[in-house]
Structure 1
Amino acid sequence: MRRRSVIPALAALCTGLAGVAVAVAPGSATAASVACTAPESAIYTPPASVAAAPGTVLACRPTGLPEVPGDIAMKAWRVQYASRVVPGRRGGVSGLGGGPTAPWTGPGARPVVSYHFGTLGLGSQCAFSKQLAGAYQDEYEGDQVAGLLRAGWAVAATDDVGYLTGRTHTYMAGHNAAHAMLDVVRAAFQVPGSGLSTGAKVGVWGYSQGGAASLWSAQLAATYAPELNLAGAAAGGVPADLKEVAKASDGGAFAGFSVDATIGLHAAYPNLPFDALMNEQGRRLIADLKTLCLVGTVARGAGARSESLTTGGLSPEEFYRLAGPDGVTWGAVLDAQKLGVGVGTAASGARYRIGFPVLQYHGLLDEVIPTQVEEAVRTAYCRAGITTRQRKYLTGHLLADGQAIGDVVAWFTDRFAGRPATGNC
């Protein structure tokens, strides 16, 4: 859950191993076999190129996690690993992993949950691995990670693409987020001393931005990481249709999130027209948002509208029709991030096949993600025959994730135990 001190701040704004791994010097990053003694700078320095297979550990160092309650005996590491980045090249991604030091007493190997944070902001200091390791405070606390560790499972948490020094986070680029979530699990298996087995059952979990990442991971796992033993995906507060989310936030308290999405998608799809479309107000806002974390993003982006940021006062619909030199429009890129399209079961011929249960949840009073957006992706999964269970909480976006932790952990407990899953479509 986002740090509790952030919630009243947002409300106010809205109302007025010692062990092991790889250290590869900047340059061409390839698979290597060295100790987990890389300096912190190596975790966040982007390699000039990456030749290693997705999931390969590129740099690693042991770390503490002061944002996780101290009563959990654990070992943890920060890592940079290889991943596939839109439009098909390989790049480095930072993240972290950890697990209890107590022996696993359950059946099979210790399960691993790939966790993806909710929106943190675009500034490089906002990276989840930095926040959970205490390098940047007052934006995030480790309740979800603590819940997973207390259950006895290991956690692999990506920072997602673009938090390396000098890069821009590709916020809301679905394929990038999914690749990063799946590859951080592959990387966790490679860390010597992690004690993790490649045959372990794996879950994916995220909320808000992380909820979209979790469902994209579910949709891509069969083709991108078929060797992973996926047991289930949990996703809450999912911005499943970016056009609808942008329509709801335009000019409102959370408009900064949609501007961040525009910045992030341009970072992923640089052929799209962007800089030349912005007026001076738009350029100043974009420059500021690239440096800010959650609270600053909400404060600085509040009230933003496409018409006030673009030369000629472009409406969202006019903006969506604009194309880059390759003919791809903004609208097409936004539509490509929409979840629930082309989905089916493992035995189907669908483009995106999900062969494991899915848990979806959201707040009935969500002030950020329209509830119809959540319901639409759930309906699409149900119609496709995917085993889907939904939970609703009588709260808003900022609190629903914290309320769901116990239910999510209980649901994963059943998945890892091999108990039959039932949907409530």
Structure 2
Amino acid sequence: MRLPSVTFAVFVLAASCALSVVPASAAPGSADFYTAPVADLEAYAPGVIVRREPVPQLDVLGSRTERILYRSADPRDRAVAVSGLLITPALAWRGPGPRPVMAYAPGSYGIADRCSGSSELGLTTTMPALLPLLAQGYQVVTTDYQGLGTPGEYEFLGRISSARALLDAARAAASGTDAPVVLYGYSAGGVASAAAAELASTYGPELSVVGAFVGAAPTDPVLRVEGQDGTEWAATMMYTIDGLIGAHPEQAEGIRALFNERGRAALDAARDFCTTDALAYGSLRSEDLTVDGESLAALMTGPVLGPLTAANTIGFTVPDLPVMIVQGVHDSSVDIEQSRLLAHRWTAAGLADITVREFDFGTELVPVVDHPAANAAAYPEAIRWIESHLR
């Protein structure tokens, strides 16, 4: 039964609230699961599951949930272990062909290891968003991204690292089958989905990726920083810079030299931020954090950060698969221009099969709601769009 958009949105938001009161410690996962070395990791192919454990507390809607550790490859082609969740409905798939796989990229909960989506802090924010997909009988696999909870550095919104993490999660779920795969991500997860759509034909050519849902994705790093600068969430600007430092340790000294003492302190503090920690840190103006008083957005187009920023900007490689872009016009977390610019760039580059949906609720909602509201409202149309491409 298909629910009207408003009813469906209320259902998803209510489910989110209901699950958010479940103690996070219900399924914590041991530190060893994430950090214990995997012998001969290089010997495994990308997407091979090297460790798994059941999470029966999360067996919702008649599904079986596992926490998994799978092999991926970082931007330098080195083997890395990435964690996530694999959720399989218990009932047999009644549709044609093998059960479809939804490769789900979660939004950002922060950049500290404890923020990963499959860990105890992330579970109550990850699971509600999966319910509409599980209700359709799809298998769902999530990624925690490279270096988030697991050894190595987490490159926040890193184009190659997030794309590979998501595509290898899809490999883990579809292993041994010809299952069709749909990439699905919202917010920071939308960046991963968009990046994976661009790289699927070259990094995962054997995967049958039939489409990518890209919701409210800050795919242009400069615009993201400009949108956060001076707001109550301004400390999250440091996520991007910390990620670049981690991904390019040989340039760490030069990057940190762009910041004054207060800026370097903010960089160090942000490395341990999850969820609302950035709010507690207080609002910042990036001009007050840099040595020369330049804005962070200006530095990200300069000689030190410019090439790294350009490498993580999405929209200039044409996906060879259908894409659906969704966002709310009053989104205060990610400006609507991000989605419009991404659609323009892809269309200009030659993408023909692109669906764009903007939601205008008539007024700005409270800030904690207006960003995820479009994601909830989009589910009925997104499910129909997915079904049409699976057919």
* TM-score (norm. length: structure 1): 0.77
Describe the SS at the equivalent of 2:340.
helix
Who is 2:53 aligned against? 61
> Residue type of the partner of 1:296?
D
After superposition, the Cα gap between the structure-2 partners of 1:276 and 1:270, relative to the gap in structure 1 and judged at 3 Å, is same
Contact 2:70 2:82 in 1 (8 A): yes
Bigger mean CA deviation after superposition, 331-340 or 109-118: 331-340
Write out per-residue CA displacement over residues 51-110 of structure 1, whole angstroms, 9 at most, x where no aligned residue.
1221122211111354x7x4x111121111111112222211111111100011100000
Who is 1:181 aligned against? 166
Q: How many correspondences in the alignment?
A: 357
Match among 142, 163, 169 for residue 154 of structure 2: 169
Contact 2:234 2:278 in 1 (8 A): no
Q: In 2, distance between residues paired with 1:317 and 1:120?
A: 23
Contact 1:216 1:339 in 2 (8 A): yes
Structural mapping, 1:216-231, within 5 Å: 216-231=195-210
Match among 373, 378, 387 for residue 404 of structure 1: 378
> Residue type of the partner of 1:204?
L
Describe the SS at the equivalent of 1:78.
strand
Structural mapping, 1:260-279, within 5 Å: 260-272=239-251, 273-279=254-260
Q: In 1, distance between residues paired with 2:188 and 2:262?
A: 26
Who is 2:41 aligned against? 50
Q: In 2, distance between residues paired with 1:110 and 1:43?
A: 28
Q: In 2, distance between residues paired with 1:332 and 1:6?
A: 42
> Residue type of the partner of 2:353?
T
Describe the SS at the equivalent of 1:282.
helix
Cα deviation, residue 226, structure 1: 0.5
Describe the SS at the equivalent of 1:381.
helix
After superposition, the Cα gap between the structure-2 partners of 1:312 and 1:176, relative to the gap in structure 1 and judged at 3 Å, is same
Q: In 1, distance between residues paired with 2:122 and 2:334?
A: 26
Match among 322, 334, 337 for residue 372 of structure 1: 337
Describe the SS at the equivalent of 2:125.
coil
Who is 2:305 aligned against? 330
Who is 2:5 aligned against? none
Who is 1:287 aligned against? 268
After superposition, the Cα gap between the structure-2 partners of 1:216 and 1:169, relative to the gap in structure 1 and judged at 3 Å, is same
Match among 165, 179, 196 for residue 200 of structure 1: 179
Contact 1:355 1:386 in 2 (8 A): no
Contact 2:143 2:165 in 1 (8 A): yes
Who is 2:132 aligned against? 147
Cα deviation, residue 254, structure 1: 2.5
Q: In 2, distance between residues paired with 1:144 and 1:307?
A: 37
> Residue type of the partner of 1:379?
H
Contact 1:122 1:168 in 2 (8 A): no
Cα deviation, residue 313, structure 1: 3.2
Q: In 1, distance between residues paired with 2:305 and 2:41?
A: 28
> Residue type of the partner of 1:335?
A
Write out per-residue CA displacement over residues 252-307 of structure 1, whole angstroms, 9 at most, x where no aligned residue.
1222332111111221222333334433322332232222212212432x422332
> Residue type of the partner of 1:398?
P
Cα deviation, residue 41, structure 1: 3.5
Cα deviation, residue 243, structure 1: 0.7
Instruction: State yes or no: 1:309 paired with 2:289.
Output: yes
Cα deviation, residue 210, structure 1: 0.6
Unaligned stretches of 5+ in structure 2?
1-11, 21-28, 362-369
Bigger mean CA deviation after superposition, 223-232 or 83-92: 83-92
Who is 1:116 aligned against? 105
After superposition, the Cα gap between the structure-2 partners of 1:239 and 1:137, relative to the gap in structure 1 and judged at 3 Å, is closer
Write out per-residue CA displacement over residues 190-247 of structure 1, whole angstroms, 9 at most, x where no aligned residue.
5xxxxxx520010000011111110111100000000000111001101121112212
After superposition, the Cα gap between the structure-2 partners of 1:290 and 1:104, relative to the gap in structure 1 and judged at 3 Å, is same
> Residue type of the partner of 1:61?
E
- Identity percentage of aligned residues: 28
Contact 2:185 2:214 in 1 (8 A): yes
Instruction: State yes or no: 1:107 paired with 2:92.
Output: no
After superposition, the Cα gap between the structure-2 partners of 1:175 and 1:166, relative to the gap in structure 1 and judged at 3 Å, is closer
